[in-house]
Amino acid sequence: MPEKEEQTEKKKYSSLYDFADILVSAITVITLLFLFCFRFAGVIGSSMFPTLRDRDSLLISATAGTAKPGDIVIITQPNIWHEPLVKRVIAIGGQTIDIRDGNVFIDGQELTEAYLPEGLNTEPAPAYSASVDMPYTVPAGYVFCMGDNRNNSTDSRFEEVGPIREDYLLGRVVLRLFPFGNFRVV
C-alpha cells in the first residue's frame, strides 16, 4: 500500500475515533447531569390545576437545596397511591399553619397566594375531610404541602399524606417541558 493511501486510512480512523470519543464524552456528561442535577417527572391528576395540568411533563432540579414556601416539589414519600406526588410547599419546619374561612395563615399572617385563581376556596370539597387539626405546627425536618386545586387535592391536610419529610423531596420543579410553549411554572 502506498504511503499516501496509508495516511488517508489513518486519518479516516483517527476522525472516527475522535467522533466516538466526543460522543461517549457527551453521553457521559448528559448522564451525570440528569443523574445528579436534573430529572424528569410527569403530572398525574388535577391537584395542581390551574398551575399544572394532568400529563404535563416537568424538569426538576435535584440540587435545589432546602425547599422554601411557594416551591412546587416532587414528593416520593410512601403514600396510599404508591406514586410520586406533585404539590406546593406551604410551610416548613417550625412554622404554624392554620386554615380558617378559606384562607391560609402561616405564623398568624395570612398567606398571599397569587398563583391561585381568584375566589378559590382552600377548604377541601365536602367529599373529603381533612384529618390534620388546625392550627398545626410543622415538625423540624418536614414541610407542609398542598395542591393548588385545594378542593380536589389530597395533601398534607390529610392523614393519608400528612407532613412530608424533607428527605422525601425528590426535587423542585424548574420548568414545564410539555406542553410546548408554556414552560413557566409559578
Among residues 83, 104, 95, 98, which one has the least CA distance to residue 168? 83
Answer yes or no: 47 catalytic. Answer: yes
| DSSP string for residues in 60-119 | EETT--S--TT-EEEE-S--TT-S-EEEEEEEETT-EEEEETTEEEETTEEPP-TTSPTT
Given 4, 87, 131, 153, the catalytic residue: 87
Given 14, 47, 57, 153, the catalytic residue: 47
Peptide bond into 179 cis (omega under 30): yes
CA distance 31 to 52: 27
Alpha helices in 40-185 (DSSP H): none
Answer yes or no: 87 catalytic. Answer: yes
Which sequence positions are flagged as catalytic? Answer: 47, 87
